[in-house]
């Protein structure tokens, strides 16, 4: 049972375009929503994270939008670059579970064509 | 350099032959976790540890064992590996659970069980 569902599974975008990856969660106790970026042959690395007390967080070209009522959050990559080509994972956790217990989505393989 | 080190990076073994994947972190982190990554399933937590001698099951613990005798080390043990444990494994560490600090991942161990 996947508590965090992520879509699409793969995404191809042209350089300069906007990449959008969506996630939906079921557990209303989740209170921390990070996105991780993984390059081939490497472990995932934290990209950006949001808490449910805000609806949007922006860091450079990366923005998380959060909709608490719909239990959905999304990652927007503006002006996508070939160097953004990677696998992206959304995740969620709650204070009720051990703080380091992250539940991950299925992953999205992003390809940005030059 | 702050890092999580896993060994080996690649491992091919046969069904039933016990193996250990080591994980070491040099950041004095309290929390450590093991994940497996499978296509279409994302990252799923196997076991986690909140401190020395304190471990608990994650979402997919069957067929795995862990130990935490020292703060820096968190080995993953497969007593009798089976082909369905063929996967990409990641170790991660976090400073502590309450503050939702960043999870630092190792580079991964690709295991094939024949």
Question: Which residues make beta-bridge pairs with A74?
Answer: A22, A65
Residue B109's H or E segment, with its range, is strand B109-113
| Residue A2: pLDDT over 70 | no
pLDDT of res. B74: 98
Minimal Cα distance from A92: which residue of B? B100
H helices within A49-96, ranges in order? none
CA separation for the pair B21, A62 (Å, rounded)? 35
pLDDT in tens, B42-97: 999 999 998 899 999 999 999 999 999 999 999 999 999 999 999 999 999 987 65
Residues of A in contact with B4 (CB under 8 A): 43
pLDDT in tens, B15-35: 999 999 999 999 998 889 999
pLDDT in tens, A6-56: 999 999 999 999 999 999 999 888 888 999 999 999 999 999 999 888 999
Asked if B44 and A89 count as a contact pair (C-beta separation under 8 A), the reply is no
Name the DSSP letter for residue A84.
Answer: G
Terminal-residue alpha carbon distance, chain A: 37
CA separation for the pair A34, B19 (Å, rounded)? 32
Token look-up 């309290």 returns B30
CA separation for the pair A25, A34 (Å, rounded)? 13
Q: How many CB atoms lie within 10 A of CB B105?
A: 23
Residue B22 tokens read as 């080591």
Identify residues of B whose CB sits under 8 angstroms from chain A CBs.
Answer: 4, 31, 33, 35, 40-45, 48, 50, 56, 58-59, 90, 92, 94, 96-100, 102-103, 105-108
């Amino acid at each position: 049972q996947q508590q965090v569902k992520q879509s699409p599974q793969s995404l191809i975008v042209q350089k300069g375009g906007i990449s959008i990856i969506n996630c939906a969660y079921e557990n209303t106790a989740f209170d921390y929503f990070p996105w991780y970026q993984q390059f081939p042959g490497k472990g995932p690395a934290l990209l950006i994270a949001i808490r449910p007390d805000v609806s949007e967080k922006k860091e450079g070209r990366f923005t998380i939008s959060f909709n608490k009522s719909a239990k959905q959050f999304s990652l927007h990559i503006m002006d996508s670059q070939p160097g953004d080509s990677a696998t992206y994972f959304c995740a969620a956790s709650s204070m009720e579970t051990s703080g380091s217990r992250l539940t991950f989505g299925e992953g999205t393989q992003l390809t940005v064509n030059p | 350099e702050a890092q999580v080190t896993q060994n080996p990076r690649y491992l091919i073994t046969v069904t039933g032959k016990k193996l250990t994947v080591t994980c070491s972190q040099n950041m004095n982190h309290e929390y450590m976790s093991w994940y497996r990554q499978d296509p279409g399933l994302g990252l799923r937590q196997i076991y986690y540890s909140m401190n020395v001698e304190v471990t608990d099951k994650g979402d997919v613990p069957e067929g795995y064992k862990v130990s935490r005798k020292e703060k820096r080390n968190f080995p993953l043990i497969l007593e009798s590996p089976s082909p369905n444990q063929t996967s990409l494994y990641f170790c991660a560490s976090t400073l502590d659970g309450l503050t939702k600090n960043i999870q630092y991942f190792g580079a991964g161990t690709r295991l094939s069980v024949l």
